[in-house]
Structure 1
Amino acid sequence: MTEEGAESAEGARGADEYAACVLCQEPTEYPKTVRGATLCPVCEWQEAQRTACSG
C-alpha cells in the first residue's frame, strides 16, 4: 500500500468512529458509543439558541 493509500484508509477508519448528528448526519465530536441524541457542533449551537431564555 502506498503512503497516500494508507492515509486515506486511516482517515476513513477515523471518521467511522464518530457518531452522526441526529439532525444533519454530519460527524459529531462524540464516539459512536455515546448514548442519547448526538449533535454536531453547529446543530448543538443552534439548539442552544432555540432553548435559551430570551428574557
Structure 2
Amino acid sequence: MGDDVTAAAESVVYADCVHCGEPTEYPESTKGSTLCPVCEWHEAQRNACSG
C-alpha cells in the first residue's frame, strides 16, 4: 500500500515559481501565478506593509 502512495505522489509535476524558478507546492495544472514558499512569504510581507 505504501508503494502505491509514493508512486502517485512522485507522478505529480509541480509548477515552477514565477519569480525565482524554484519548484512550488502546487501542481502545474494550478491556474494563476504560482510562487514557491519563500517568494510567497516575501509577497505576503510586502502586501502587509503596503497599507
Gaps of 5+ in 2: 1-6
Which protein is bigger by CA-based radius of gyration? 1
Q: CA RMSD in A?
A: 2.2
Stretches of structure 1 lacking an aligned partner (at least 5 in a row): 1-9
More helix per residue:
1
Detail structure 1 runs of 4+ shifted over 2 Å in the superposition: none
User: Take 2:12 and 2:41, find their aligned partners in 1: how far apart are those partners?
Assistant: 23
Using the aligned pairs only, state the percent identity.
Answer: 65
Query: What is the aligned residue count?
Result: 43
TM-score, with structure 1 as normaliser: 0.67
